[in-house]
Amino acid sequence: MTFKVNKINTIEEYLVKDEYDYAYFFVDAQNGVLSIVSNYGSMGYRWEAPGNDFKKFLTEVNTEYLMAKLKKRVFDLDGTIKNMKEWVISCRREKNCTKKEARYVYDDVISEIGQYYIQDEGFFWGIINGFLDDIKKIDMDYFEGIEVATKWTDYDKYFINHIWKAFVEQLKQEI
């Protein structure tokens, strides 16, 4: 197998830096490519059709959309526990279970899950499997009923609100 290698001369490099943080932004406006190397992680994405002016697109892009292209949100235990409580209440309202079964899952199972230091969805479902007999009494379709919550980390929020914002201000000066 042979690979074709082309040198691309259309890439512009930007550096956002202070005494604690750094972020290199590599922009290939011709091809709709953004690459970032920073102390907040390495990220990148290629947009197929960002419009005629890629830099203008970057200054106007919705940050939630942008972050969804660049990174994944992380598991949110508190949000997931809140969703589980709402799920138990909903199952009880629909009369899928007895009051006693719902109370046990709501008070004991969810409380125990909240005591674990769960940082990812896989570990969460592993813990849930330990309570499967009780959870199935609430709803046989628990896997569809329990909604796992996700969130942006504080680092992600800082990156968007400070580092990205500084980068966008530079782009705005250029266009």
Rounded CA-CA distance 40/156 in Å is 7
- Pick out the chain residues at pLDDT < 50: none
Rounded CA-CA distance 22/40 in Å is 8
**pLDDT of amino acid 40:** 94
DSSP class of residue 91 equals: H
**pLDDT of amino acid 50:** 82
Q: What pTM was computed for the model?
A: 0.80
Task: Return the closest-CA partner of residue 16 out of 150, 152, 158, 121.
Answer: 158
**pLDDT of amino acid 160:** 96
